[in-house]
C-alpha cells in the first residue's frame, strides 16, 4: 500500500512539472461611426470612421483578450473589464491587454502564440500589420514572431461589407 501511494505521489509531482499548453478563441465586433478614432491592434489608423465602444473599441485587442482569457479558463473580457465600469470608460485597450497578460500569469501562463484575422472592407489593413505586430508584441512581452495578423474583407457581404462595422477573430496558445 505504501509503495502504491509513493507511486501516486510521484506521478502527481511529475504532472505538476509537465509543460501545459492550452488554446482559446476570441471574437469581437464594433460598429463604425463618424467622429471617433480608429484603433486596431493598438495603433491609430487614419480613416473617416472609428469604432464605437465603451473603451477605444479596438476589436483586435478585445478578441485577443478573450482568446487568452478563454485559454486560461478565466471567462471573458466583459467579466474582467465590464463596459459599465467608470474606470474602463474610454480606456486604451492596450491597458486591458496588459492586464489580461497579468491575469493569465497568476495561473502560471504566458503567451505561446496568437493568430488573428480582422474583417474590414475599409481601410485596407495590410500596410499596418507590421506596426500592429510590433505594438502587440511589446504589450504582451513576447516575440513579434509569436503574433500572426491577417486582414480580409467579406466580399461586400453583411454588416462588414456594408462598412457598418469591423470584426476580429483570435486564437491564442498559452503555456506554462
Residue 69 belongs to a domain with what CATH number?
3.30.1330.50
Nearest CA to 176 out of 64, 16, 14, 26 is that of 16
User: pLDDT tens per residue, the chain (176 residues)?
Assistant: 455 554 444 445 455 678 999 999 999 999 999 999 999 999 999 999 999 999 999 999 999 999 999 999 999 999 999 999 999 999 999 999 999 999 999 999 999 999 999 999 999 999 999 999 999 999 999 999 999 999 999 999 999 999 999 999 999 999 99
Residue 28 β-bridge partners:
168
Q: In total, how many domains does the chain have? A: 1
Is residue 9 in some structural domain?
no
Is residue 7 in some structural domain?
no
Query: CB–CB of 26/65 below 8 Å?
Result: yes
pLDDT confidence of residue 18: 86
Task: Return the axis-axis angle of helices 93-105 and 129-140, rounded to nearest 10°.
Answer: 40
Is residue 144 in some structural domain?
yes
Is residue 60 in some structural domain?
yes
Is residue 118 in some structural domain?
yes
Containing domain of residue 165, as a range?
20-175
Distance CA 72, CA 30 (A): 25
* Maximum Cα interatomic distance, the chain, rounded to a whole number of Å: 73
- Which whole-number Å values give the CA distances from 38 to 31, 55, 86, 102, 138, in the listed order? 11, 12, 21, 26, 20
Is residue 146 in some structural domain?
yes
Is residue 112 in some structural domain?
yes
Amino acid at each position: 500500500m505504501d509503495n502504491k501511494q509513493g507511486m501516486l505521489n510521484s506521478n502527481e509531482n511529475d504532472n505538476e512539472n509537465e509543460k501545459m499548453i492550452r488554446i482559446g478563441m476570441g471574437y469581437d465586433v464594433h460598429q463604425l461611426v463618424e467622429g471617433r478614432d480608429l484603433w486596431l491592434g493598438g495603433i491609430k489608423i487614419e480613416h473617416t470612421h472609428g469604432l464605437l465602444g465603451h473603451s477605444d473599441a479596438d476589436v483586435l485587442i478585445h478578441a485577443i483578450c478573450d482568446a487568452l482569457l478563454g485559454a486560461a479558463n478565466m471567462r471573458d473580457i466583459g467579466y474582467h473589464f465590464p463596459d459599465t465600469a467608470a474606470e474602463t470608460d474610454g480606456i486604451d485597450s492596450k491597458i486591458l491587454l496588459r492586464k489580461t497578460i497579468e491575469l493569465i500569469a497568476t495561473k502560471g501562463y504566458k503567451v505561446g502564440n496568437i493568430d488573428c484575422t480582422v474583417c474590414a472592407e475599409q481601410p485596407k489593413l495590410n500596410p499596418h500589420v507590421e506596426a500592429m505586430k510590433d505594438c502587440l508584441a511589446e504589450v504582451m512581452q513576447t516575440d513579434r514572431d509569436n503574433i500572426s495578423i491577417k486582414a480580409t474583407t467579406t466580399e461586400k457581404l453583411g454588416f462588414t461589407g456594408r462598412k457598418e462595422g469591423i470584426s476580429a477573430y483570435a486564437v491564442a496558445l498559452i503555456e506554462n
